[in-house]
A = this chain, B = another copy of it.
Amino acid sequence: MDEISKFLGFKKTIPFVVSKDVYNAFQKCSCDFNPLHTNVVFARLKGFKECVMYGNILNAFVSCAIGEQLPSKNVIIHSQDIQYKNPFFLNDKLEMFLEVEDIHESVNVIELKFKFLNEQNVIVSKGHIQIGILL
């Protein structure tokens, strides 16, 4: 089977946990200490129940999904987008629904869509990823 055919009809549900380790590692990577993410008093003043997690933790999870969970490791991300629909919080268990949307075989390009849902089945974010197959 050629590399791109493996993606026909591909869809997968991938669990992620926004653990303290994930939060700390993202903070160390980004050096983003905005009070919404680090100061519970500030977060509550802004109407949230606790510190809001960094939205871009989800893009780190996207990186994992593309790098580790596809039918081939021979991939590279061309572009991606994400919309944040609802906040998520420390220790939230999220499920990512990842699905191939379109395959452009002549240029070895695949478009995927994804959404993250929390345990209450509330949509946290959604978006798209375009990848190329590395030959």
Contact = CB atoms under 8 A, between A and B. Distances in A.
A60 B29 contact: yes
Interface of A: 21-22, 25-26, 28-37, 46, 52, 54-57, 59-64, 66-68, 73-84, 134
B26 A29 contact: yes
A81 to B, nearest CB: 4
A63 B55 contact: yes
B134 A46 contact: yes
Contacts of A55: 63, 77, 80
B36 A68 contact: no
B34 A46 contact: no
16 contacts: A30-B61, A32-B63, A32-B67, A34-B66, A34-B73, A36-B75, A52-B76, A56-B63, A56-B77, A60-B60, A77-B84, A78-B84, A79-B81, A80-B81, A80-B82, A81-B82
